[in-house]
Structure 1
Amino acid sequence: MAFDFKKEYRDLYRPKTTPSVVQVPPMCFLAVEGEGDPNQQDGAYQHALSLLYAVAYTLKMSYKTDYAIDGFYEYVVPPLEGFWWQPGVAGVDPTDKASFRWLSVIRVPEFITEADFTWAKAEAQRKKKLDCSPVQLIEIDEGLCVQCMHVGPYDDEPATAEAMHRFAAEAGYVPDFTDARRHHEIYLSDPRKADPAKMKTVVRHPVRPV
């Protein structure tokens, strides 16, 4: 059976609908950075996702090609994630989507090397006729965070974030947004198919002890 990150790391991908504090370990991701309204049809965000998925699935299906990845095992492509920020804003303001800056990412297994990534980018570019040069392979070390499963539309996330911050304050933590620590979302529902009221999104914010 293919390895499924969501099932193996439930503390990271399946938190409760009540806030909790979590220590997030360093992880490797495919990443594309950009800016602008993610809802813009055929915009930069949608294009970034097409690049991410092209490279992610090229890596996943590599075992069916002549390219051999050392230590490879079959796995389910992890969910799309996003780090979001805006100039001068702690966290995010969903009412001003045009000012969004974002880093869209998909996790990759630890056995993926820079050489594997370079091969996958070139292969995806050849097969999909896409310029995959914006895709990066990066490590993100989030560290100490407060998180919660948000159920509902993305625009309702501020209420969840407020509950997270209240919980964190009661537990002796304060938000710790920096240029390296951002508002983080993990998308467990497909917005093209899901009922907005039932969409599940992990919301995660960096914190530090008071």
Structure 2
Amino acid sequence: MAEPARESNKTDVKKALDSYQARRGEFRVLDIPDLRYLMVDGHGDPNTAPDFTAAVETLYPVAYAVKFVSKEQLRHDYVVPPLEGLWWASDMDAFTSARDKSRWDWTLLLLVPSWVPAELVDATVEHVRTTKRPARIDDLRVATLREGTCVQTLHVGAFDDEGPVLERLHHEVLPARGLRPAGTHHEIYLSDVRRVAPERQRTILRQPVTPA
């Protein structure tokens, strides 16, 4: 994967990578390159499951530590990428229609920039493990996500209002294009939920696909 262009000496993947571009109401087909992430898995309602909060509180210290190492040792600063999530359930209606969050499985993700060597990432994870010891550090892994061809769109609004967009994607857009789901539903949270009102939150909704 080519190194993203820099802006003001600090890379922002939301601006530099095409896979982080989406428009509301537009369902775009694109090929996603293999990307490396910090990952933590879990199950249950993200609003109430303690593991969800612990996963977030584990990912960010590592992500900021990797950013610091990149800036200090590699002389390449960047904006910590947005939080992302893979979501699924044994019955996907629990996700797209019923929205029964207690039945959801998930993997939270934070992108690792391509220019940071694997050994440097591993050493940074170990440093955080021994110095800060976040709750789920033993569950954190670094892995490559391979999604290939995907369809994605931008949802503006509360997370609980995603249902109709997902229904349209799965039952109208994909069949009309001769496609079917072939992987795990993926969300990219472009907005800081601590600062942005729910009705203004911007979330990329992505679905890996294959010919029907």
Give the TM-score taking structure 1 as reference length.
Answer: 0.87
* 2:165 maps to 1:160: yes
Partner of 2:48: 40
Partner of 1:175: 181
* 2:51 maps to 1:51: no
* 2:13 maps to 1:12: no
Runs of 4+ more than 3 Å apart: none
* 2:37 maps to 1:29: yes
Aligned-pair distance for 1:202? 0.2
Match of 1:103 among 104, 107, 110: 107
Give the TM-score taking structure 2 as reference length.
Answer: 0.86
Partner of 1:140: 145
Partner of 2:116: 112
**C-alpha contact 1:21 1:168 (8 A) present in aligned 2:** no
Partner of 2:195: 193
Match of 1:129 among 127, 133, 141: 133
Match of 1:202 among 193, 198, 204: 204
Partner of 2:86: 83
Q: Given residue 82 of structure 1, which amino acid in structure 2 is its aligned partner? A: G
CA gap of 1:72–1:35, structure 2 versus 1, over 3 A, is farther
Distance 1:76 1:163 in 2: 33
| Per-residue CA distance 1:155-194 (angstroms, 9 max, x = gap) | 1112111232322322221222xxxx20110001122221
CA gap of 1:184–1:50, structure 2 versus 1, over 3 A, is same
Distance 1:139 1:115 in 2: 15
Aligned-pair distance for 1:63? 4.9
Aligned-pair identity in percent equals 34
| Per-residue CA distance 1:67-110 (angstroms, 9 max, x = gap) | x4xx5521111110000111232682463111111110001111
Deviates more, 1:123-132 or 1:79-88: 123-132
**C-alpha contact 1:19 1:163 (8 A) present in aligned 2:** no
Question: What is the root-mean-square deviation in Å for CA atoms of aligned residues?
Answer: 1.9
Q: Which runs of 5+ in 2 are unaligned?
A: 1-8
Deviates more, 1:145-154 or 1:12-21: 12-21
Q: Which runs of 5+ in 1 are unaligned?
A: none
